[in-house]
A and B are shown apart, each in its own frame.
Chain A
Amino acid sequence: MRMVVLTKGVPDFREGKVSFDEDGHLERGKTPTVMNPNDKTALRAALQTKVKHGGDVSLMSMGPPGYAEILQEGMDDVYADDLYLLSDREMGAADTWATAMTVSTGLEQLDETPDLIFAGFKTADGETGHTGPQTKWCLDINEEMPDYPLITHVVALDVDEDAGTVRAKRLVEGDVSEIETIEADLPAFVVTDPEFEANYRRAEHRLRHKDFRDETQRRAAEFGEYLADDSEMEPTEFEEFTMWNHEGLNLDPDFIGLDGSPTIVAGVDPIPKAPSEREATMIDPEDDEGMAEVFEELNQYAAGD
């Protein structure tokens, strides 16, 4: 089973990490870049497939050379056998379409045609959810690549290798209230839902999962040595890391990056601040009448029958 998981670096929006200026604009320079959290779910789905059916999991991204760290994060936190970074100035400022074009070419470039391609449910910054499906379209128009049925909002996944099929549970309307089970032929393109949960009901699977986690953390630690600021080694010297530029991918610069992007950004709205003040009434604990009101107010919520 040859699997590829697609990912992207995004600002770390977690409290304490993210930085906004006074107008509510993201301060990109002050906010660290991390692997898109939804893509880790996709990576977990790939790892589950590897645990149960074997195979290799590659993690691929398009971005500046610094994204090697994003790939290393995925390798460390979840799993990856090897890493691919599509990186070139010509690829810069790409919209989802130009990204999909580039990524699909990267997928074509692999020695072996992927049986399963995984993408996460939208990125934390763009939030379009386009890149995965558009990559699948780009593969469809690529004569060299097979057609991949697209399965989105996947919450559970199982592969039948003998039958050459994948069976998935998916949210019909993106809502947990309605789940359908579908089956598709391999190869297939899977977009995991954030609700996806890996499922290991056999001890052998959990043991193998543990082995793989140990292996990937060792591998990531080794790659980390190549990435260290004071390292004398180039990241590309790491055996499990491959970087391709536009020439390596044989891509016409007119079709990628800013030039290949039909999207026009009309404007950017600052993120509205959350209402910071709640409606509050101050009560002095010494004030019996006030405390009686507090009791009245809370009593209705108190448990007990």
Chain B
Amino acid sequence: MTEHEHYEAVVVGAGPGGAAAAATLAQHGVETLVLERGVDAGSKNVSGGLIYAEESAPYTIDQLFPGFREEAAERPVEEYYIHNIAGEKVETFDLHDIHHHDTEWCDAVLRRKMDSWLAERVHEMTRETGGGLLTGVRANGLLREGGKIVGVTLDELDPITADVVIAADGVNSELARGAGLMDWEEPEDWFQGVKAVVDMPPEAITERFDIDDDEGVAHLFSGDLFEGVRGGGFLYTNEDSLSIGTVFHLDSLSAQRAEPHELLDSLLTHPLLDQWFQGEYHEREYSAKLVPDSKKVANPSPHRGRLLLVGDAAGQMQAQGPIIKGMNHAVTAGGLAAEAFAEAKSRGNEKAAGTLYQQKLEDEGVMDQLRPTRYRATRFVSESDVVNSVGSSLLDSAVGAAGIKLFDGLLEKSFNSPFVLGMIPDTKLSYVTVPTRIAEVLGDPVYDENDVEPPALDDRIGDLTYDVDDPHIEVLDNSFEASGTAVTACPVSAEGFGGGCYREETVKTNGTEEKKVSLDTQPCVECGTCAVVADTHWEHPSGGKGVEFKQG
């Protein structure tokens, strides 16, 4: 047997989950090695951009990393609104209560700045344990001995063994999939988000959003501006930029053959946004990310042998209507996983770490937030076609309109109820029909003209930084039936666009014509969408290769 390099703990991925795990392990004196595939921590990371610290959470990022809010975050977000949109009519609800429910604080963040700041501290903390943090190193799989997971295999390094492997390697976790704890099968398990970071001087932000220098605001958007695709939009204020994005259910996006960048543009060019752009628009970065729907894929048992999953790799992303929380859960999970290992170790039973971690997730109420039992209990009724068609026609009727008017205040209240939001069904009714009807019945028209022109897709790709390596994705079945959805669903591909990843081709053979799909991974933003909607063999690029986000 070969003598492998060994660490007590190996943490794969230096996002908030990995950072929290590593910091907690280091606090417990565990020798910890952190491996990050990006050229810099944060260079592979995208998020909408709000991180919460919940009052009830056992771990928060600023408690683990003092100075986080001052040095790594953007603006604290105090105000939270949702705009229900129907054409040019808008009805705005104040979501103050739900935003502040159990919230100690909430800050807007840009991941490159945030994660690289965290990584520096993590390196210092873990270095003292005999480990440390390395960037540009990709763990590509699990090392097994006698069928048991004993460590990781890597592109850049020889295999490494560990007493515990914490996979915080994100939504496309190769380790979770290698252990059979996650798949890429069902579009309905995922959301896809795309985002534009838009330049705006701090003075313009404070003036146009009517906030102070050290204040921020969040706006959500839903209704009929996304061609009926289920999902919504967001806008968060950073120090000197805005994060504006859209998030859709991947099944809905796929089925309607919608183009994610065009849906983003629908939001960016809506008249409502003119009050903030005032005719100026300079996009700093276009990015995309797959988001697990924790209601369906938060793994109730996120461990196997020595492998513990945290954050997106465990599906721990809570998106319930306007509640969008991921990073805080990753931080909690990271802390709990680390704590579980430290405790198991002190009892001389390191094997118990996984079970202990699972127990802690339940005891701390994390699992109930991620997978509310009331959602499971109600979804079969609320997501059924009959209920939805009745619901839609009712809402469209005069009776429905009267109801909306009557319950105006109550509606706003229910948007602010974590209990109600925990069972919001994933249907067009809740994402599109209700907000649209609210706006139609209650809304006021916006008279502004928004004439900004977001960049075309080829310019968006052209502005991104890549270190191109060999193709990391292979199309296994290039028939249009198997993989054609990727042409539209991929955020850097589009029908009739030749500069993207996926293209549709018509191949003529022996007098018959066949539609095929071809792939060029060069513009890939590594979101993982095609792994779900197409038939591919999907891997991350090697350490330091592929796309490099500067904002994230």
A210 at interface by CB-CB < 8 Å: yes
Determine whether the beta carbon of A210 is less than 8 Å from that of B132: yes
B473 at interface by CB-CB < 8 Å: no
Determine whether the beta carbon of A206 is less than 8 Å from that of B127: no
Residues of the A chain whose Cβ atoms lie less than 8 Å from the Cβ of B158: 201-202
Determine whether the beta carbon of A210 is less than 8 Å from that of B157: no
Residues of the B chain whose Cβ atoms lie less than 8 Å from the Cβ of A163: none
Interface residues in B312-326 by Cβ distance below 8 A to A read none
B497 at interface by CB-CB < 8 Å: no
Residues of the B chain whose Cβ atoms lie less than 8 Å from the Cβ of A202: 5, 157-158
Determine whether the beta carbon of B134 is less than 8 Å from that of A210: yes
Determine whether the beta carbon of A207 is less than 8 Å from that of B132: yes
Bound state CA distance, A220 and B417, in angstroms? 58
Bound state CA distance, A203 and B156, in angstroms? 9
Closest to A208 in B: B132
Give the distance to chain B from A203, nearest Cβ to Cβ, in Å.
6
Determine whether the beta carbon of B5 is less than 8 Å from that of A206: no
Determine whether the beta carbon of A207 is less than 8 Å from that of B127: yes
Interface residues in B430-446 by Cβ distance below 8 A to A read none
Bound state CA distance, A124 and B403, in angstroms? 82
Determine whether the beta carbon of B131 is less than 8 Å from that of A206: no
Give the distance to chain A from B413, nearest Cβ to Cβ, in Å.
53
Give the distance to chain A from B206, nearest Cβ to Cβ, in Å.
38
A289 at interface by CB-CB < 8 Å: no
Closest to A211 in B: B127
Determine whether the beta carbon of A207 is less than 8 Å from that of B157: no
Residues of the B chain whose Cβ atoms lie less than 8 Å from the Cβ of A206: 134, 137, 157
Residues of the B chain whose Cβ atoms lie less than 8 Å from the Cβ of A293: none
Interface residues in A185-221 by Cβ distance below 8 A to B read 200-204, 206-207, 210-211
Determine whether the beta carbon of B157 is less than 8 Å from that of A201: yes
Residues of the B chain whose Cβ atoms lie less than 8 Å from the Cβ of A200: 157
Residues of the B chain whose Cβ atoms lie less than 8 Å from the Cβ of A201: 156-158
Closest to B505 in A: A304
Closest to B156 in A: A201
Residues of the A chain whose Cβ atoms lie less than 8 Å from the Cβ of B33: 203, 207
Give the distance to chain A from B470, nearest Cβ to Cβ, in Å.
16
Which of the residues A203, A210, A211 comes within 8 Å of B5, measured between beta carbons? A203
- Classify chain B: how many residues form its interface, as a range: 10 to 19
Determine whether the beta carbon of B131 is less than 8 Å from that of A207: yes
Residues of the B chain whose Cβ atoms lie less than 8 Å from the Cβ of A204: 5
Bound state CA distance, A201 and B157, in angstroms? 4
Residues of the A chain whose Cβ atoms lie less than 8 Å from the Cβ of B35: 203
Determine whether the beta carbon of B7 is less than 8 Å from that of A203: yes
Determine whether the beta carbon of B5 is less than 8 Å from that of A207: no
Give the distance to chain B from A214, nearest Cβ to Cβ, in Å.
10
Give the distance to chain A from B21, nearest Cβ to Cβ, in Å.
17
- Contacts A210-B132, A210-B134; A203 near B127 (Cβ below 8 A): no
Residues of the A chain whose Cβ atoms lie less than 8 Å from the Cβ of B157: 200-203, 206
B160 at interface by CB-CB < 8 Å: yes
Give the distance to chain A from B438, nearest Cβ to Cβ, in Å.
51
Bound state CA distance, A111 and B209, in angstroms? 69
Residues of the A chain whose Cβ atoms lie less than 8 Å from the Cβ of B156: 201
Bound state CA distance, A207 and B129, in angstroms? 12
Residues of the B chain whose Cβ atoms lie less than 8 Å from the Cβ of A203: 5, 7, 33, 35, 131-132, 134, 137, 157, 160
Bound state CA distance, A79 and B33, in angstroms? 24
Closest to B35 in A: A203
Interface centre among A200, A201, A206, A211 (most CB of B within 10 A): A206
Bound state CA distance, A206 and B7, in angstroms? 14
Residues of the B chain whose Cβ atoms lie less than 8 Å from the Cβ of A210: 123, 132, 134
Interface centre among A201, A203, A210, A211 (most CB of B within 10 A): A203
Residues of the A chain whose Cβ atoms lie less than 8 Å from the Cβ of B134: 203, 206-207, 210
Interface centre among A201, A202, A207, A210 (most CB of B within 10 A): A207
Closest to B10 in A: A203
Give the distance to chain A from B2, nearest Cβ to Cβ, in Å.
13
Residues of the A chain whose Cβ atoms lie less than 8 Å from the Cβ of B131: 203, 207
Bound state CA distance, A210 and B132, in angstroms? 10
Bound state CA distance, A200 and B35, in angstroms? 15
Give the distance to chain B from A178, nearest Cβ to Cβ, in Å.
26
Give the distance to chain B from A12, nearest Cβ to Cβ, in Å.
26
Bound state CA distance, A202 and B157, in angstroms? 6
Residue interface mask A114-146, B partner, CB < 8 A = 1:
000000000000000000000000000000000
Residues of the B chain whose Cβ atoms lie less than 8 Å from the Cβ of A211: 127
Bound state CA distance, A206 and B133, in angstroms? 9
Residues of the A chain whose Cβ atoms lie less than 8 Å from the Cβ of B123: 210
Residue interface mask A220-248, B partner, CB < 8 A = 1:
00000000000000000000000000000
Interface residues in B1-21 by Cβ distance below 8 A to A read 5, 7
Interface residues in B25-39 by Cβ distance below 8 A to A read 33, 35
Bound state CA distance, A211 and B158, in angstroms? 20
Closest to A201 in B: B158
Bound state CA distance, A202 and B3, in angstroms? 12
Bound state CA distance, A154 and B157, in angstroms? 22
Give the distance to chain A from B420, nearest Cβ to Cβ, in Å.
48
Residues of the B chain whose Cβ atoms lie less than 8 Å from the Cβ of A207: 33, 127, 131-132, 134
Closest to A209 in B: B134
Closest to A303 in B: B520
Bound state CA distance, A33 and B156, in angstroms? 35
Bound state CA distance, A202 and B33, in angstroms? 12
Bound state CA distance, A28 and B56, in angstroms? 68
Closest to A204 in B: B5
Bound state CA distance, A289 and B137, in angstroms? 52
Give the distance to chain B from A199, nearest Cβ to Cβ, in Å.
10
Give the distance to chain B from A291, nearest Cβ to Cβ, in Å.
18
Bound state CA distance, A88 and B398, in angstroms? 99
Bound state CA distance, A267 and B482, in angstroms? 71
Give the distance to chain B from A303, nearest Cβ to Cβ, in Å.
10
Closest to B127 in A: A207
Bound state CA distance, A287 and B478, in angstroms? 39
Give the distance to chain A from B39, nearest Cβ to Cβ, in Å.
14
Give the distance to chain B from A226, nearest Cβ to Cβ, in Å.
28
Interface residues in A14-31 by Cβ distance below 8 A to B read none
Bound state CA distance, A288 and B428, in angstroms? 50
Closest to B33 in A: A203
Bound state CA distance, A210 and B5, in angstroms? 18
Interface residues in B446-488 by Cβ distance below 8 A to A read none
Q: Chain B: residues with CB nearer than 8 A to chain A?
A: 5, 7, 33, 35, 123, 127, 131-132, 134, 137, 156-158, 160
- 28 A-B interface contacts by CB (under 8 A): A200-B157, A201-B156, A201-B157, A201-B158, A202-B5, A202-B157, A202-B158, A203-B7, A203-B33, A203-B35, A203-B131, A203-B132, A203-B134, A203-B137, A203-B157, A203-B160, A204-B5, A206-B134, A206-B137, A206-B157, A207-B33, A207-B127, A207-B131, A207-B132, A207-B134, A210-B132, A210-B134, A211-B127
Q: Chain A: residues with CB nearer than 8 A to chain B?
A: 200-204, 206-207, 210-211
Q: A203-B7, A206-B157, A207-B127 are in contact. List 11 more A-B contacts (CB 8 A).
A: A201-B156, A201-B157, A202-B157, A203-B35, A203-B160, A204-B5, A206-B134, A207-B134, A210-B123, A210-B132, A210-B134
Per CB-CB distance, the 8 closest pairs between chain A and chain B, nearest first, are A207-B132, A201-B158, A206-B134, A202-B5, A201-B157, A203-B33, A203-B157, A203-B5
